[in-house]
Structure 1
Amino acid sequence: MGDDAPSDRIISLRPAAVARLSALAAASPPGQVLRMGVRSGGCSGLSYTMDFVGSGSVAASDAVDSYPEVSGGLSCAVDAKSALYLYGMELDYSDALIGGGFQFHNPNAEESCGCGKSFGV
């Protein structure tokens, strides 16, 4: 995350996540929005969700943050319920063979599973 990034974003991006999201956004159809959230399930009770969706699926009640540091610009939509669990989270990325992929550093999580894709509060 650069020094010029807004501090009131729900989710901040580490440099490796910016690079990976730039590649994914370039391969996605124009006008896509990154939707992040949580749902019940996973090893620890709640699991992270993350997908590109059309901008028409963004609800008026969603929190939307812009990430101009992602190549081509990117918006991220988070529903109100998920925002409570994700506020302050840092998204990172690793291309390691074991444990690679997006990594969620969530200060709201009281426990996390070994795979890092689910958490409990």
Structure 2
Amino acid sequence: MTRAQLTDLEWEYVEPYLPIGEYGPYPAWLRKQFEGVIWKFRSGAQWREMPAEFGAWSTVHNRFRQWRDAGVFEALLEGLIAQAAARGEVDISLVSVDSTTTRAHHDAAGMRLGPGVLDALEKAA
């Protein structure tokens, strides 16, 4: 038994959020694949290091990407927060998330120089 295994109560909550498409996953593998995703992020290991009990690492990784793109994890988080708030276990007015990302041009790490400029700088030095 790995630490990534869900209790039956946890699985009852998670299962309805996981879409089953026309080509899979097979419902029998759904829980193991989700547990594989949990294992990956809890362990910090690479996808290729995933134990075989979760299925092929590439299949679990593809399933994770499908769920990520479908917004499954955001929906799970929002559902958990809503349930906790309904029970009076969380004060949503105190929730705040802030993240800022600024992309730089690939040349930002160094100065672009024309062909003759570098020679002129070397001569001046």
The structure with the larger Rg is 2
Fold match (TM-score > 0.5):
no
Greater RCO, 1 or 2 (C-alpha within 8 Å, sep 6+): 1
Higher helix share: 2
Task: Please give the range of the TM-score, normalised by the shorter of the 2 chains.
Answer: under 0.3
